[in-house]
Structure 1
Amino acid sequence: MDDTIEPPFQETYPTLFDNISEKEGDESWLRMDDVEYCELPLVDLSLLSSNSEHLDKCIKEMAEAASEWGFFQVVNHGIPQKVLKNMRYEQNKLFHQPFSKKAEESFMNFSANSYRWGNPSATSLRQFSWSEAFHIPLTDISRLDECSRTRSSVGLSATKAGSLAERLAEYLAHNLGVKSSYFRENCLPSSSYLRMNRYPPCPLSFEVYGLIPHTDSDFLTVLYQDQVGGLQLRKDGRWLSVRPNPQVLIINIGDLFQALSNGVYKSIEHRVVAQSEVERYSAGYFYCPSDEAVIESLSKPAVYRKFSFDEYRQQVQKDVRATGDKVGLSRFLL
């Protein structure tokens, strides 16, 4: 049996990779490495346990970052480094299984289509991601059949990230005047998911993305990444690189929070640059509502029409199948 761990990107999508230079030309989107670094706003979450003055200051910092950047970093977030490192160790073990094993439907007792790689909808390299991921609904974690250590490490990380996401969402929503019970009522643990990512070394790192430009279809994302780097975000029409720091967590606003806030908080386009010689790991907790949850702009006049999360996801999937690209919130403008 073939024991290579790498997905067969070029063999599976030969029409995308044949004669790259002739088909893609010298387009600016390929120049992803020559991008300046930015310093994301850094928020000390220990202030949330302080007196009202420091608490208000901390909430204000998060709200300003969510409005101006759509991204911020947090320290003293309550998830011990040991928990994150244990998850990273188990993540490495999963991805270093042979590709043929990872691609089996019964692998680790995950749900069907949990293991994802490349982009079956891509019609050009611009739409292709040189990466692989385990997209894990939280209800799947208890079913992991590898060993109790994998279950406990991944499960503990997801549980703590979920608590953090709920806490931050409630503070950000309180700043907008949303009742505190909104997220507890609409975002049950069973509706969120963990996505563990691996970006293999890419021999065509100047021609292909690690992860294509996109926004997240959730309320907010809690991201843990290693020291390799590659995350970039688009601000004021320019791409900026995020300096890697495994000691912090990165929080970014998703489409649903932008709609709920009536455009006050920004869901910012971001991407990952492929690396030529090293692999990169990250793990994201995506804080999502149940399918029937209704997203409605808080203030008037509303920018977006009212929609359910299920309606939003179906529209995104329809657009991706038809064009290879996500259209997103612009579909729901009034």
Structure 2
Amino acid sequence: MTLILQYIRTIYLSIYCVDNILLSKKHNTNTTMATYDRAKAVKEFDESKMGVKGLSDSGIKTIPQIFIHPPQTLSNIKSSSKKTTSIPLIDLSNVNSPNHRPNIVKQIKEASKTWGFFQIINHNVHVSVLDNTIESIESFHNQPHEIKSKYYKREEGQGVMYASNNDLYRTNAASWHDSLQAWMAPKAPEAEELPGICRKEILEWDLHGSKVAEVVFELLSEGLGLESGKLNELSFCESRAIVGHCYPYCPQPDLTVGITPHTDPSAITLLLQNQVQGLQVEHDGEWVDVNPVHGGIIVNIGDFLQIISNGEYTSVQHRVLANSHKKSRISVVMFLNLSKWKGEGYHGPLPELLSPEKPPIYRDFTRQEFFDNFYSKGIDTKSFVDKVKIQN
């Protein structure tokens, strides 16, 4: 009887193995769909501390399955056909001139309503500061694994953290990028906590970027018909994070993305980028390439500002394509978030913008509600805006 059972078991295992081989060929992967354990694969990748830069540098020809995105995400992954269209370019050289400032305010207001993105030039930050910041972040990501891995950890919302995909454990498909994150305010890191190879540049950009943000908030305030200092009074510049993204070469860019389509939860975001393209903004139902402008700073409206402006400004979906170039795409992002909350910890549309003719279209919400929404899932598009929208 025992021999018969062993024989049956052998036949069963043989059939099982053949089926798995067929599945393996069908899905073109060494790991069968029947035995693939995504949670285990994610954990192993994370604990290796290699990041996608390490995978790319190793010379792999196929990307791990955890990075493969579903067809609905990949269906329209391509460079834009609108070569002559890009986000508005706004010159701030005469921003303090009484004759020119109203027109600049008008341009920023229009861009913030229709595009949710614009790029500023002549912003009073020397181009060398921007270039040095970008180059220092690239130098960090180009370091050997044993040096970078000292900073690899997952402590979102505080301190200094190097990791691949902040939402790695909260998303169904990882994206092809690594990030160095530094929270600069309200609690700044000790200087020695920042990697030496980019320490000076991060501190310098934090100083200059904060000043640029204050000017942008003034112009946005005036665009809403408010006093120029109103948005700065809300302390957005007092909660800042700088994130240096690296999008290394991807051997299968048609199977993954650099960052999935999303809107930023912040008030505004300042972005520096090198000359490797990849950023796209959704506009009029199409994805539009954001062409790098040397010396330019990209500004985009976040979900928070859409809510407090009562929909006057809008956050817009954007994404980054997986990088098919041998040179890494580098971007440096400064997120500006609310620091001080009004009343009993609630916030919502600014009362100054409300009237019987313009009632609130969003309800008030708490700080805890805002952060719980962000950290409970992968990055997405306007999930919090939709959550606090008042249904008619």
TM-score normalised over the length of structure 1: 0.84
Query: Helix, strand or coil: the match of 2:315?
Result: coil
Stretches of structure 2 lacking an aligned partner (at least 5 in a row): 1-47
Alignment of 1:45-194 (within 5 A): 45-50=92-97, 52-105=98-151, 114-118=161-165, 119-121=167-169, 124-125=172-173, 128-138=174-184, 139-140=188-189, 142-144=191-193, 146-147=195-196, 150-187=198-235, 189-194=237-242
Q: Residue 258 and residue 24 in structure 1: after superposition, are their counterparts in 2 closer, same or farther (change >3 A)?
A: closer
- The number of equivalent residue pairs is 317
What letter matches 1:296 in structure 2?
A: G
Instruction: State the partner residue of 2:25.
Output: none
Deviations 1:134-192 (A, max 9, x none): 12111126344544x73332111111111111211122112213344443333265511
In the alignment, is residue 280 of structure 1 matched against residue 326 of structure 2? no
Q: Given that residues 49 and 163 in structure 2 are in contact (C-alpha distance below 8 angstroms), is that contact kept between their aligned partners in structure 1? A: no
- Amino acid of the residue matched to residue 80 of structure 1? H
CA distance in 2, matches of 1:191, 1:265: 21
Q: Aligned partners of 2:318, 2:377: CA distance in 1, in Å?
A: 19
- Normalising by structure 2, what TM-score? 0.73
Tell me the SS of whatever aligns to 1:104.
Answer: helix
- Following the alignment from structure 2 to structure 1, what is the Cα–Cα distance between the partners of residues 74 and 195? 41
The AA in structure 2 aligned to 1:173 is S
Over 3 Å counting, the alpha-carbon distance change for 1:66 and 1:106 in structure 2 is: closer
Aligned equivalent of 1:223: 271
Q: Which of 94-103 and 27-36 deviates more?
A: 27-36
Q: Which residue, out of 295, 308, 322, partners 1:260?
A: 308
Residues 117 and 62 of structure 1, relative CA distance in 2, 3 Å threshold? same
**CA separation of 1:78 and 1:332: change in aligned 2, threshold 3 A:** same
Work out which of the two has the higher radius of gyration on C-alpha atoms and give 1 or 2.
2
- Of 19, 25, 41 in structure 1, the residue corresponding to residue 88 of structure 2 is 41
Q: Pairwise CA RMSD of aligned residues?
A: 2.9
Quick one: distance in 1 between partners of 2:170 and 2:163?
14
Identical amino acids, percent of aligned pairs = 28
In structure 1, give the amino acid aligned to 2:332: A
Contact 2:140 2:198 survives alignment (8 Å): no
Bigger shift: residues 83-92 or 199-208: 83-92
CA contact (8 A) 1:131 1:197 kept: yes
Q: 1:88 to 1:304 in 2, by over 3 A?
A: same
Q: What letter is aligned with 1:286?
A: F
Q: What corresponds to 2:347 in structure 1?
A: 295
